[in-house]
Amino acid sequence: MASTVQCLLCPFQCILKENQRGICQVRINLKGKLVSLVYGKPATVHVDPIEKKPIFHMLPGSKSFSVATFGCNLGCKYCQNWQLSQSKPDDNKNYSIEPKALVKLAKNYRCDSIAYTYSEPIVFYEYTYDTSVLARQNRIKNVLVSAGFINPAPLKRLVKYLDAANIDLKGFTEEFYNKVCFASLKPVLKTLEILATSSVILEITNLIVPTLNDNMKTIKKMCQWIVKNLGAHIPVHFSRFQPMYKLKNLPPTPTETLINARKTALDAGLFYVYIGNVYTADGETTFCPRCKKAVIKRYGYTLLENHVTSKGKCKFCNEVIYGQWESL
């Protein structure tokens, strides 16, 4: 009997013969059993400010223990972490840190959260899931930083243990997803809808690549979709592209494009819109949607002022600010 298996983790649903790997390069069919090659084998671990993820609406100023393995199920031509995402785990050096040890490390470094980030946590799903369960038991929050290209069933299982997620909505056309990321848009939108209806603090990042996804009409459509389907309270970060990987021929995103995108998003009705990877006035500031006063001021990853009460309200007008502002 042939021992072919089908991975059901992401929408690619790779059908794998014996010894064949999935598109992610980290899941392999061994004797009719699908196994992860990166469980407990992070390629990098780091203590980062939570603002670096970027997560602006959960525990500002706190530290997040960040972890990633090799591999990704997407192939974005502009990947900013391609050395990690497009490498095989067996060609590189990995650490050996089981979930229990990872949680212990996070505690030792006094981190309020563990972030599954840098490459694509969906491809190291089992590691993410097991660590999240243990972290929750140890009162450490879980942050998922992902492209959101996952099937609903595994996502719904993981969501129970997540506290925050930043989903990279890479563009708003199937064409962009197909040609630049080798994926599709529809499953990502489904992921966003699932997360928005859960208790997870959801934030969205849109990295704007000059000439490829910088059309303001499309950005406007994307923001209108977010307002209509997820809510005006969902924070959106417009990130600056730096020439990387296979798109070194393009220039960095002009600051004016990012400022225009922010204005477009605010006009579409979004409450919290940020600009990342470049300094702009107000681009990193959280404004109260009612009194319009600056409630959180940041400079880069540094928190300058915080006027959100521990109950999550604006200190000036008592309006509820979306997010989680108090430790577990």
Which residues contact another protein (rule: CB under 8 A)? 1-9, 15, 27, 30, 32-41, 89-90, 96, 98, 125-127, 129, 151, 153-154, 157
Query: Least distance to another protein from the beta carbon of 128, Å?
Result: 11
Please name the helix (run of DSSP H) or strand (run of DSSP E) that holds residue 204, with its range, or none: strand 201-208
Query: Least distance to another protein from the beta carbon of 209, Å?
Result: 31
Query: Least distance to another protein from the beta carbon of 89, Å?
Result: 7
Instruction: Round to whole Å and give the CA distance between 54 and 117.
Output: 10
Query: Least distance to another protein from the beta carbon of 197, Å?
Result: 21
Query: Least distance to another protein from the beta carbon of 72, Å?
Result: 16
* Cβ-based nearer residue to another protein, 16 or 167: 16
* Cβ-based nearer residue to another protein, 126 or 282: 126
Work out whether the CA dihedral 103, 105, 111, 113 comes out positive or negative. Answer: negative
Q: How many CA atoms lie within 13 A of 190 on its CB side?
A: 14
Q: Which residues 6+ apart lie within 8 Å of 162 measured at CB?
A: 132, 142, 143, 144, 198, 200
Rounded alpha-carbon distances, angstroms, from residue 44 to 64, 67, 83, 90, 227: 14, 6, 11, 14, 36
* Cβ-based nearer residue to another protein, 153 or 216: 153
Instruction: Round to whole Å and give the CA distance between 316 and 311.
Output: 13
Amino acid of residue 50: I
* Cβ-based nearer residue to another protein, 31 or 217: 31
Instruction: Round to whole Å and give the CA distance between 201 and 292.
Output: 22
* Cβ-based nearer residue to another protein, 24 or 207: 24
Query: Least distance to another protein from the beta carbon of 122, Å?
Result: 11
Instruction: Round to whole Å and give the CA distance between 203 and 270.
Output: 12
* Cβ-based nearer residue to another protein, 27 or 240: 27
Q: Which residues 6+ apart lie within 8 Å of 228 measured at CB?
A: none
Our CA dihedral for 301, 247, 26, 17, rounded to 10 degrees, sits at 160
Query: Least distance to another protein from the beta carbon of 8, Å?
Result: 4
* Cβ-based nearer residue to another protein, 3 or 302: 3
Query: Least distance to another protein from the beta carbon of 130, Å?
Result: 8
Question: Do 54 and 217 touch, CB atoms closer than 8 A?
Answer: no
DSSP secondary structure letter of residue 91: G
* Cβ-based nearer residue to another protein, 149 or 274: 149
Instruction: Round to whole Å and give the CA distance between 143 and 225.
Output: 24
Q: Is 10 helix (H, G, I), strand (E, B) or coil?
A: coil
Amino acid of residue 30: L
